Every structure is written in C-alpha cells, then in structure tokens.
Structure 1
Amino acid sequence: MDLIDIGANLTHDSFDRDRDAVLQRARDAGVARMVVTGASRAHSPKALALAQAHPGVLFATAGVHPHHAAEYTEECDAEMRALHAHPEVVAVGETGLDYFRDFSPRPAQRKAFERQLQIGVETGKPLFLHQRDAHDDFMAVMKQFDGQLGPAVVHCFTGTREELFDYLDRDWHIGITGWLCDERRGQHLRGIVKNIPAHRLMVETDAPYLLPRTLKPMPKDRRNEPAFLPHIVEELALDRSEDVAVTAAATAATAKAFFRLSG
C-alpha cells in the first residue's frame, strides 16, 4: 500500500516520547504521507513545524476546532493567516461546528467558522471540516459562501445517510476513520460507505483518537497511530465490496489531488 492519512493529530503530547518511531512505523506499514491536523492556536504552528521537519512526508492544516472557538480573536485570525502563507499548510481547518459537547458557545463557534471560511475564500485552499450534531447550522453557514470556496472534506464522517448525501450533493469529500470499526456507534456506516464515489473518498486515523476496535492485537496504551490506517482501509474495502488494493489506490489518489500534495 501507498496510503495517505489525511488527519493525524501528531502534535498531541502522547506522541512526544516516540514521535519519530511512530512515523517510522507508519512508513513501514505503507502510509507514505500524512496530513498533520492543526486544530488550535497552540497546535497549528506545531503542525507546520512538523511538516517543515519532514518535507514531502508530512503536511499540515491550520485552523481552530469548534471546541476552541472562544479563542478565535483578531490576533488569532492574524496568526492563522500567517500560517497559511506557508506552502506546507495545505488546508484551512480543522474548523466547523460541534454541538455534541458545546465546549465553546454556539455563537462563538459559528463566528470562528465563518472567519476561517473567509480565509478559505482568500487563499483558495481546501477546507478540512468538522461537524457533529450541528448539521443544519453547518449547512447554513456553508451556504453563505456558495461559489466562493475551494474543495471541502468533511473529516471523520460519523453522520447519517441523509447527511452523507447532503455533502455528496455539494461535491464535498468524505473522510472515513476507525469509527467505522466501532460496533457500538459506527455500525450504520458499514451500510452507506459504498455510496461514496471513489473520487470523493479519503481515509484517516484521527490519531491518537479513535483506535479501531476491530484491531488485533490492541496496543497496550490504546493509542491510535497512522500505522493502523491499513486496517481501516481493509475494513472499508470489505464494506465497499472492493479489493483492498483498489480502495487503497483510490483513496491515496483522491487525497493527493485534493490537498495538491507533492513528494
């Protein structure tokens, strides 16, 4: 396999002790490139630094997750814009809405989302989007920017069939994670992932989160990492009734084109 993990939180402190080994295990497993998620004021610069330290292998996004939307000040906006001046930053986000936990007030989430979409308008970069339990407001905010934005991926898709088709009708891309492997919460995905066109489908681990529950043996520390992406691809291929090599090649080609990756 020659896979691309489009969403790995490699700046997370759980990787501080062995980050180089994590990257080597990913390469050994056939994960050739990874996009490091920038999801806050603190971690977006760290994502860029990682990408700069591993040219052609790591790339970065820069944004503020809705959990951190309250920190999206004028100064924060300027910081995000400065980060997007770097070619290693290949997408705007992670940004969007999350009404499941409401760690930031909903008006603050919507404002931060709109400000980051404006960066997308001005830079033309792809969008790395988050939506949980906020579908109607999410679609309403995106509609405000109709015809102005570049390509978008709804990362870590966990939604309903209706939500999936709403996104596909807008020609957005879909990121599938190890949520697919969760028999408690992700079983519904098994029946709908076959509806995602190959040129709209990408894969990600969201490491260190969302360790696939079907992975055997389980790591003792229960930490997810990019080396486990092939397992997700195998499960996804099974649900799509495809050969694993077909799913692997298609998702990698889609990711390379979407993020305009070099290397």
Structure 2
Amino acid sequence: MDLIDIGANLGHESFDHDLGAVLARARTAGVQRMVVTGASRAGSVRALELARAHPGQLWATAGIHPHHAVECTAEAIAELRALQAAPEVVAAGECGLDYHRDFSPRPAQRLAFERQLELAAETALPLFLHQRDAHGDFMAIMKEFEGKLGPVVVHCFTGTRAECFDYLDQDWHVGITGWLCDERRGQHLREFVKDIPGHRLMVETDAPYLLPRTVRPMPSHRRNEPMYLAHIVEELARDRGEDLATTAAATTAAAAAFFALPDPA
C-alpha cells in the first residue's frame, strides 16, 4: 500500500527517543508520506524542523490548537505567517474550536480561530481544522469566511452524521482516525463512513493519541504511531464495503491532491 497519514503529532516528546524507528516501521506498513501536525507556537516550529529533516517523507502544518488559544497573539500570527511561507508547510492549522475540554476560554478560542482564518485567507493554504462539541459556533465562524479560504479538512472527525454532512455540503474533507475502532465512542461512525465520497475522505492516526482499540496484539506502551494507519484503513474499508486497495487508493489520492504532495521517492 501507499498510504498518507494526514495528521501525526511526531513532535510529541514520546517520539524523541526512537523517531527513526517509528518512520521505518511506517514505511514497512505502507505509510510512505506523513503530515506532522503543528498545534502550538513551539509545536509548529518543531513540525517544520522534522519536515526539513525528512524530505519526501514528512511535511508540516503550522497553527495553534484551541487548547493553546491564549498563545494566539499578534506576535504569534506573525510567526505563523513566516512558518506558513516555508515550502514544507502544506496546511494552516491545527486550529478551530474545542468546547469538550475548554482548556482555553471560549471567547479566546473563537478569537484565535478567527485570526488564523484571516491568515489562511491571506496565504491561501489548505486548512487543517479541529472541532469538538462546538459545531454551531464553528460553522458560524466559517460562514464569515465563505469564499475566502482554500481547501478545508476537518481532521479527527468524531461527530454526528449531520455534522459530517454539513461539512461535505461545503465541499470540505473529513479525516478519519482510530476513533472508528473504539467500540465505546466510535461505533456511530461505522454506520455512515460508507456514505462519505471517496474524494473527500482522508485517514490519519493522530499519533501518539488514539491507538486503535482493535489492534492485536495491543502494544503495552499504548502509544499510537503511523504504522497503525494500515489497520485503520482495513477497518474503514470493511465498513465502507470496499476492498482494501480501493479505500487505500482513494484516501491517498484525496490527501495527495489536498496537500499537493509529490509522489513518494
């Protein structure tokens, strides 16, 4: 397989000691290309560093996650503008709203999201977005920027069928993770992932988070990593009623086009 992991937090400290081995295992599992998520000021710098250190295998995003919304100052926007000018940075974000944990005050989240959308309208980069338990405000803010933004993916989708199709009605993309494999929280996704058009569907691990609960044998460390993307795609193909090669090819083609990634070396 030739798979693309559109969201891996490889700058996380849990990868500091063995990133080379992690990337090698990913290649062996067919995950040839990965996009490293930038979700904070420091994290976005780190994502770009990793992309530059592994050309042709890693690319980066640059943004400020709603958990870190208080970081999104005028100085931070200037930093993001510079980062997003780098050729290795293929999307703006991760940014958006998260009312599930409320690690940042909601007004600060909304302001940070709006500031980053203003920057994205300027740079015309694809958008890598986060939304959890904030669908109404999320859609209202995005409506303010209608016609001004580049391609959009709502990554790590965990919401309802209605939310999913609100996004698809806007011609946005949806990113599916190992949440699909969680019998406690992700069962509802299995009921409608078959209805997502293949050219709007992408896959990701969100590593080191969201280790698929159906992986066997289950690793004792519980750390997710890009090699498990192949397992997610297998489950997704089953739920879509497709053979594995069809789902793999569709999600890879969608991701390569969305991020304008070159063919693997």
Inter-partner Cα distance in structure 1 for 2:213 and 2:202: 20
Inter-partner Cα distance in structure 2 for 1:127 and 1:110: 16
Inter-partner Cα distance in structure 1 for 2:25 and 2:165: 35
1:47 matched to 2:47? The reply is yes
Inter-partner Cα distance in structure 1 for 2:122 and 2:163: 27
Counterpart mapping for 1:86-125 below 5 A: 86-125=86-125
* Correspondence for 2:189: 189
Counterpart mapping for 1:111-150 below 5 A: 111-150=111-150
**SS of structure 1 residue aligned to 2:128:** strand
* Correspondence for 2:3: 3
1:61 matched to 2:61? The reply is yes
* Correspondence for 1:261: 261
2:239 counterpart letter in structure 1: D
1:180 matched to 2:154? The reply is no
Gaps of 5+ in 1: none
Counterpart mapping for 1:241-260 below 5 A: 241-260=241-260
* Correspondence for 2:169: 169
Per the TM alignment, residue 85 of structure 1 is displaced from its structure 2 partner at its CA by 1.1
1:152 counterpart letter in structure 2: V
TM-score, reference length from structure 1: 0.99
Task: Give per-residue Cα distances to partners, 1:163-209, cap 9 Å, x unaligned.
Answer: 01100000000000000000000000000101100000000000000
Task: Give per-residue Cα distances to partners, 1:52-88, cap 9 Å, x unaligned.
Answer: 0111110000000000001111111111011011010
TM-score, reference length from structure 2: 0.99
1:63 counterpart letter in structure 2: G
**SS of structure 2 residue aligned to 1:128:** strand
Inter-partner Cα distance in structure 2 for 1:71 and 1:122: 20
Q: Report the count of equivalent residues.
A: 263
Inter-partner Cα distance in structure 2 for 1:45 and 1:75: 14
* Correspondence for 1:79: 79
After TM superposition, where is structure 1 displaced by more than 3 Å over at least 4 residues in a row?
none
Q: Percent identical across equivalent pairs? A: 75
Gaps of 5+ in 2: none
Task: Give per-residue Cα distances to partners, 1:199-243, cap 9 Å, x unaligned.
Answer: 000000000000000000011100000000000000000000000
**SS of structure 1 residue aligned to 2:87:** coil
**SS of structure 1 residue aligned to 2:41:** coil
Per the TM alignment, residue 262 of structure 1 is displaced from its structure 2 partner at its CA by 1.7
Per the TM alignment, residue 120 of structure 1 is displaced from its structure 2 partner at its CA by 1.1
